[in-house]
Amino acid sequence: MERPTYSIVIPAYNEGERLQTSLEKVLRYVKESNWRAEIIVVNDGSGDKTADVVRGFAAREPCVRLLENPGNRGKGYSVRHGMLSAQGEMLLFSDADLSSPIEEAPKLFAALQEGADIAIGSRWLASETQTGRQSLFRQVIGRIFNLLLRSALGLNFKDTQCGFKAFTAPAARFLFAQQKIERWGFDPELLFLATRAGLRTREVPVLWAHDHRTKLRPIKDGMRMFVDVLKIRWYALTGRYERALPAYAPRQA
C-alpha cells in the first residue's frame, strides 16, 4: 500500500453525536482535494457509540481507521497513540468537533512545506478569524494560562491550546516518543520539547469557532494543566526528557 501524504488524527471521547458529521466533512474534503490520506480516530474509552460510528465509516472507507485506548487515558494519550501509529509524511491532529474546519488544514501543511517542522493553528494571532468566540471568562482563563507558559516554559506563542496542529513525520516521531503528559497539558509539553530541540514552529492564524459542548472545564482542568506545567519543568530539570531523546536532525534552512 502506498504511503499516505497526510495523516489526520482525531481523538474522541464520547463523541458519537458529533463524530458522524465531522467524519463526513473530513472525508468529503479529502476526496474533493484528491489527497492521499488516512484518517485515524482514537477512541478514548468512550461509553457511547463513538467506536460504532467509526467502524461504520471504516467498513465503507479504507482510509478510515479506529484505534482503541486501554480505557480513558486523556486527550494527550489519544493524540500520541494516533500520531505514533500514523504513516503519513505530514501529520495533523484535530478536535472531533472541527472547531477549526478541515478546510484550514492546507494552511498548516503549507507551513511545513515551506520549512517548518511544526505548524500550530492559532485563534489569537489574528483574532478576527474567530467565527464564534469563547465566553469572556474562558478568554481570561486562557490568557492567564498563556502568561504562565511564557514565564515557566519560555513559550512565546499567542495560542498553545488550539486543537489543530501539524507535524512533519520526523518531528512527530521525535516529539511524541518523549511526551509524558497524557491529558490537557500535553500541548505545551510538545512545544516546550520542540523549542528545546531547536525545531522550527510556525504559528498560523486559522478560522475557529467555540463549541459550547466542549469537554474542557476551565477551573478544574485549568488547575490540572497548571500541575502539568510544573511536571514539565520538573521532568526537564531532572533529565527525564534527555534520557529518552531519539536521534533527530532538524532540516536545514
CA distance 102 to 166: 12
Residue 1 lies inside a defined structural domain of this protein: no
Q: Domain of residue 61: give its range.
A: 6-244
CA distance 69 to 183: 13
- The predicted pLDDT at position 173 comes to 95
C-alpha cell at 121: 493553528
- The count of structural domains within the chain is 1
Residue 253 lies inside a defined structural domain of this protein: no
Residue 126: pLDDT band with limits 50, 70, 90: low
| Angle, vertex CA 156, rays to CA 152 and CA 162, nearest 5 | 95
Quickly count: other Cβ atoms within 10 Å of residue 117's Cβ: 24
Q: Which pLDDT tens digit goes with each residue over 171-191?
A: 999 999 999 999 878 999 999
Residue 91 lies inside a defined structural domain of this protein: yes
Residue 252 lies inside a defined structural domain of this protein: no
Residue 203 lies inside a defined structural domain of this protein: yes
Indicate which CATH number applies to the domain containing 173. 3.90.550.10
Q: Which pLDDT tens digit goes with each residue over 137-164?
A: 556 566 666 666 666 677 888 888 889 9
Residue 250 lies inside a defined structural domain of this protein: no
Characterise 201 by phi-psi region: left (phi > 0), alpha (psi -120 to 50), beta (else): beta
Give the mean pLDDT of the chain. Answer: 86
Question: CA distances (Å), 3 to each of 63, 86, 169, in order?
Answer: 11, 10, 12
- pTM of the complete model: 0.86
Question: Element (H or E) spanning 202, and its range?
Answer: strand 201-205
Residue 251 lies inside a defined structural domain of this protein: no
Residue 225 lies inside a defined structural domain of this protein: yes
